[in-house]
Amino acid sequence: MRLTLFWDRMHEQFGEAYAASLAKDYVIEGLGSRTVNQALAEGAPAKEVWRRVCDAFDLPESVR
């Protein structure tokens, strides 16, 4: 998954402002107790980060 697709999905699910806030501030245990931004900056694949976001927020299977 490309980063552009990742951010498109984040914006679709959470809205632009909340997606940015969530990525910056929300620590996800499935990402090694890191934020989305930290995980991506440290080289985590966007697809894996998206899966962990889906798990953390119990997003429906149709968007996974």
pLDDT given at position 17: 97
pLDDT given at position 62: 93
pLDDT given at position 52: 98
CA–CA distance, 43 with 18 (Å, rounded to integer): 23
pLDDT given at position 59: 96
Residue pLDDT, tens place only, 2-61? 999 999 999 999 999 999 999 999 999 999 999 999 999 999 999 999 999 999 999 999
pLDDT given at position 61: 93
pLDDT given at position 10: 98
Which has the closest alpha carbon to 30: 21, 42, 19, 39? 39
Q: State the total domains in the chain.
A: 1
Q: Which two tokens stand for residue 60?
A: 């429906």
**Which residue range(s) make up the domain with 48?**
3-63
